[in-house]
């Protein structure tokens, strides 16, 4: 009887231990309760798909975004030489060290251009190409290591409302990311040198001084535009502008790309008579590059400077009113016609020269030889 009582007690104790350690672990009084701290809770919180996308794009694109400073030397009223420095952003487009930026970031005669990469390494850069009409420049460094670079998207396919991200160095704060959407397309703005730039991308992604020349990216991390300007003095108010990247692609073809070699100013029909021009809209030639296709074709630049408001205008040169039979209706009519050509093909221009309209045929080619 005593032995049966002992066996029963052993079975009851064993069953209790088994049940409390297997089926109901919460009843295991031998283990202290686990305490979760606020920091652990924060670390374990999941990110949204959009946040993960932003992080991935930034990590991929930031190392290819660079800080650019350019210095030119000028003389004051007393003929004392003093340096003038511009700064902005740019982005690497291939592993050979080519970088796209805004022309106004590296403007001036024979500027000294310095490029700083994300790892703080510095390089001297040279200007390969300029497109002052669209405020674009292509510069190059000689990299000492393999460089990350960005892919270029098709900016003709972008739509109002799609997400975009801007990376740059606003106010010298390197590697800054802002996000937004494409607010509008086809905007016309006035650049820093007074030229009108047409067909711009408008975005509410914050763009501030120092962002100029940096990439505007789509949700795939590819470049759709080059951040160029803000509306309003000094800082961002939610309206920024970027040059569509397709406009820069022609610069990447090098000597084989069709190129006229003129700097022009678009003059609307209602304003043309004030400059002694016929009542037609057109492009007034300000400068003809020596040795260029325009120079070889006999196009003429102006020879006298006047002020139109606060903008200097050189008059007396050829006034282009048609290209291949198409009327000049905007500042981009000519450049778009040239971009459709191949190097060595001819373009027909109707030009107001003095009191006559003459036709000039120019064989377009690459940039002039140094």
Q: What is the pTM of this model?
A: 0.64
Q: Distance between CA atoms of 133 and 119, rounded to whole angstroms?
A: 33
Domains of the chain: 2-45 (no CATH), 61-140 (2.40.10.10), 155-246 (2.40.10.10), 257-363 (2.30.42.10)
Place of tokens 């190097």: 343
Among residues 70, 89, 104, 183, the one annotated as catalytic is: 104
Per-residue model confidence (pLDDT) at position 311: 75
Locate 295 and state its tokens. 């120079």
Q: Where does residue 233 rank: exposed (0-12), middle (13-18), buried (19+ CB within 10 A)?
A: exposed
Among residues 212, 281, 331, 335, the one annotated as catalytic is: 212
Per-residue model confidence (pLDDT) at position 84: 60
Instruction: Please give the angle made by the CA atoms of 362, 366 and 368, to the nearest 5 degrees.
Output: 90
Q: What's phi and psi for 28, nearest 5 deg?
A: -80, 90
Among residues 131, 135, 204, 295, the one annotated as catalytic is: 135
Place of tokens 């975005």: 203
Calculate the CA 342 to chain-centre distance.
25
* Terminal Cα distance for the chain, rounded: 117
Active-site residue, 135 included: yes
- Residues near 32 by beta carbon (within 8 Å), at least 6 away in sequence: none
From the list 282, 266, 127, the residue with the least C-alpha distance to 198 is: 266
Q: Distance between CA atoms of 316 and 214, rounded to whole angstroms?
A: 37
SS3 of residue 60 by DSSP: helix
Q: What is the pLDDT along the chain (370 residues), one digit of tens a residue?
A: 444 554 444 444 444 444 444 433 333 333 344 444 454 444 435 889 999 999 999 999 999 999 998 876 555 555 554 456 678 899 999 999 999 999 989 887 668 899 999 989 999 999 998 887 788 999 999 999 999 999 999 998 999 999 999 999 877 777 889 999 999 998 878 766 666 677 899 999 988 878 889 999 999 999 999 998 776 655 666 788 999 998 888 778 766 677 888 888 899 999 999 999 999 999 999 989 888 899 999 999 998 888 877 778 899 999 999 999 999 998 778 987 887 787 788 999 999 998 899 999 999 865 444 3
Q: Distance between CA atoms of 364 and 256, rounded to whole angstroms?
A: 10
Locate 79 and state its tokens. 């003929």
Active-site residue, 53 included: no
């Amino acid at each position: 009887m005593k032995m049966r009582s002992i066996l029963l007690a052993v079975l009851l104790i064993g069953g209790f231990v088994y049940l409390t350690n297997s089926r109901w672990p919460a009843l295991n009084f031998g283990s202290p309760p686990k305490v979760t701290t606020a920091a652990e809770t924060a670390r374990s919180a999941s990110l949204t798909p959009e946040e993960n996308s932003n992080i991935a794009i930034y990590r991929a694109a930031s190392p290819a975004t660079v800080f650019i400073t350019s210095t030119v030397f000028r003389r004051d009223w007393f003929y004392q030489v003093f340096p003038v420095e511009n700064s902005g952003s740019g982005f690497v487009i291939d592993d050979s060290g080519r970088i796209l930026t805004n022309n106004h970031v590296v403007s001036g005669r024979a500027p000294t251009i310095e490029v700083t990469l994300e790892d703080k390494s510095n390089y001297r850069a040279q200007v390969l190409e300029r497109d002052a009409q669209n405020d674009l420049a292509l510069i190059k460094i000689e990299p000492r290591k393999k460089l990350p670079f960005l892919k270029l998207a098709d900016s003709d396919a972008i739509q109002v409302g799609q997400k975009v991200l801007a990376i740059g160095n606003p106010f010298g704060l390197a590697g800054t990311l802002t996000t937004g959407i494409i607010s509008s397309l086809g905007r016309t703005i006035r650049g820093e040198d007074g030229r009108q730039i047409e067909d711009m991308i408008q975005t509410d992604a914050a763009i501030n001084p120092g962002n100029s020349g940096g990439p505007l990216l789509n949700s795939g991390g590819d470049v759709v535009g080059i951040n160029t300007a803000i509306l309003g003095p000094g800082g961002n108010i939610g309206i920024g502008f970027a040059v569509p990247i397709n406009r820069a692609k022609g610069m990447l073809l090098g000597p084989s790309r069709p190129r006229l070699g003129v700097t022009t100013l678009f003059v609307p029909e209602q304003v043309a008579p004030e400059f002694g021009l016929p009542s037609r809209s057109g492009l007034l030639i300000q400068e003809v590059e020596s040795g260029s296709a325009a120079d070889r074709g006999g196009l003429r630049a102006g020879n006298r400077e006047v002020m139109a408001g606060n903008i200097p205008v050189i008059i007396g040169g050829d006034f282009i009113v048609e290209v291949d039979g198409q009327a000049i209706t905007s500042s981009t009519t000519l450049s778009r016609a040239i971009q459709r050509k191949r190097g060595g093909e001819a373009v027909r221009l109707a030009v107001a020269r003095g009191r006559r309209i003459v036709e000039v045929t120019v064989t377009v080619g690459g940039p002039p030889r140094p």
